[in-house]
Each structure stands twice: as C-alpha cells, then as structure tokens.
Amino acid sequence: MDQLRFGGKLELAAGRPELLDGYVEAPLGTRTLVRAGRFKTPFSRLYSTSTAQLELPGRGLVVDYFALGRALGVMVEWSDEARSDVGFGAFLMDSGPALIGRGGIAIYGEVPSYQSASLATAQPSGLSVGLDASYEHDWTLDDAITAGLDVQLVEGAFAVLAEGYVRDTVRGEGGATQAVGAMLQGSLFVVPRRLQFVVRGGYLSVALEAPRGSCELGLTLYVESTLAGDPQDVVLMASALFEDETSSHLTLQLLTSL
C-alpha cells in the first residue's frame, strides 16, 4: 500500500469557515483507491463536477433534488484514466445508512466519464455514459431505491449533458414511485474558449406534489489571469432562471481557481 493521502475542503459562509470535506485516501496500486471520511457521495455526473467547472451557477432543479450530498462513509474507486471508472461505498446519511454507487464509460473519445467536461481548456470530442444507483435505509420512513442515467456528448465547442432519475420507496407490500426527473443542458462557445452560451431545462415530478419545470439561460466568460504565476481562468457567470410562471431569478457569479 502506498502512502496515505489526506484531503479536505473549506467553505467561507457568513464570515465563518465550514468544513465540507475531510477524508483520507489509500491508493491500492495505480488504478484503485479507498477513501474514508466525509466527502461527496458518488451519484450524478453534474453533482460530481466541482463548482469551478460548472457551466451555470448551481446544478439545477433535478440534480439538486436527487443528488445525495456529502456524508460520512467508506468508498472504493477504480479508474482507467479518462476511459472508465467505478465508485461504490457505504455511507451514513442524516436519515440512516445507504449504499451508493456510480459507474461511467467513454463510448468514444476521451470525455471524462465521471465529471461533465470543462470546455474552458482543450477538450477532445467524445461520448460517455454513466449509471447511478443507491439504496437508502430510513430509520423513520420507508427505504428508497434511486437509479439514474446520464449521457455527455462533446463535439468541438458544442456540448450536451442529459441526466434522468427515478426514486421508488420500498415497502413491505411492494414499492411506489416517489419521484421522477430529467434535465437537458447544452452549451456552445460563441467565442472559442472565452465566451460560452448555456441553456438548461429540467422537469421534476414528486409524489403528492404538482410537477415542476425549470429553464435556465446563461453566459459564461472565461478570462485568463496570471496573478498566481501560472495562467488560470477567472470565470464570470450571468444567468436567468425561470422555475414557473411566477418565479424567476437573475444570478451573477464570479469564480476563480487562484
């Protein structure tokens, strides 16, 4: 076993630091590692994508609902460079224990199978597919099984990401569908590697609630900065979100990896 590695992530909110992630990793050979601690659960391509690589502020109505968030757990991950990877782990959620897994494969090209492509840097064309699954045991309510499918296509300056999910409750006499959702996101660099137009639509149907839809339009500007020595992208996002006839939001967001 190689040397242990430690990782973590802090967020500054309301002037106070909050620990989002804190974990230890143990590589097993060149392609496999074991991770233990608190970190993102391996579910949803868009949720797995870091904030600095998102093409719109936030991840949208559907992913926000189905993503299982961060939790304490142990996970085994296997990766074959940019071609395929599998992650599976046991986690302790707020409502109870859960088994969560994700696998992805590049059908052709070298599009990452685990995260959505970051088009600010050179990205070869390709197609990749991912599958998600989870079993959540709830100490007070019904257990739930969630399954998801995502597809990422990149062709030059154009990219499409689609994700779909279904969640069923598990009861003694059978199951019942709790929620169904799907999202489609497309992006195009109108100025190569600098100005990107993005559109995203989502549909979410939850039991005992009226179906909800959303549409989001955005422009993302990538500006190169050398304040830290090496060139880095400073990202400026402007977006408009429409969730129903009476709800809309305008967002302006500045991101940097400095």
What is the spatial distance between Cα 145 and Cα 170, in angstroms, rounded to a whole number? 7
**How does strand 84-92 pair with strand 97-109?**
antiparallel
Q: Specify the residue for token string 């391996």.
A: 42
What is the spatial distance between Cα 128 and Cα 115, in angstroms, rounded to a whole number? 10
* Domain locations in the chain as residue ranges: 5-186
Q: What is the mean pLDDT of the chain?
A: 83
The pLDDT value recorded for residue 232 is: 52
Model pLDDT for residues 42-100, shown as the tens digit of each residue? 999 999 888 777 888 889 999 999 999 999 999 999 988 667 889 999 999 988 999 99
**How does strand 32-40 pair with strand 16-28?**
antiparallel
- pLDDT, mean of residues 103-126: 72
Q: Specify the residue for token string 């689609």.
A: 162
Among the listed residues 116, 256, 257, the one whose alpha carbon sits nearest the alpha carbon of residue 187: 116
What is the spatial distance between Cα 152 and Cα 185, in angstroms, rounded to a whole number? 10
Q: What type of residue sits at position 61?
A: L
Q: Helix (H, G, I), strand (E, B), or coil: what is residue 147?
A: strand
What is the spatial distance between Cα 54 and Cα 145, in angstroms, rounded to a whole number? 27
**How does strand 97-109 pair with strand 16-28?**
unpaired
What is the residue-wise DSSP string for 193-243? TTEEEEEEEEEEEETTS--EEEEEEEEEEEEEE-TTSS-EEEEEEEEEEEE
The pLDDT value recorded for residue 213 is: 93
The pLDDT value recorded for residue 163 is: 97
Going by pLDDT thresholds of 50, 70 and 90, the confidence category of residue 117 is low
The pLDDT value recorded for residue 110 is: 74
CB atoms within 10 A of CB 53: 19
The answer to whether 172 and 145 are in contact (CB under 8 A) is no
Q: Which residues pair with 5 in a beta bridge?
A: 25
Model pLDDT for residues 127-167, shown as the tens digit of each residue? 999 999 999 998 888 899 999 999 999 888 889 999 999 99
Check the CA dihedral 210-202-149-253 and report its sign.
negative
- Please determine, for residue 226, whether its predicted confidence score (pLDDT) is greater than 80: no
The answer to whether 147 and 181 are in contact (CB under 8 A) is no
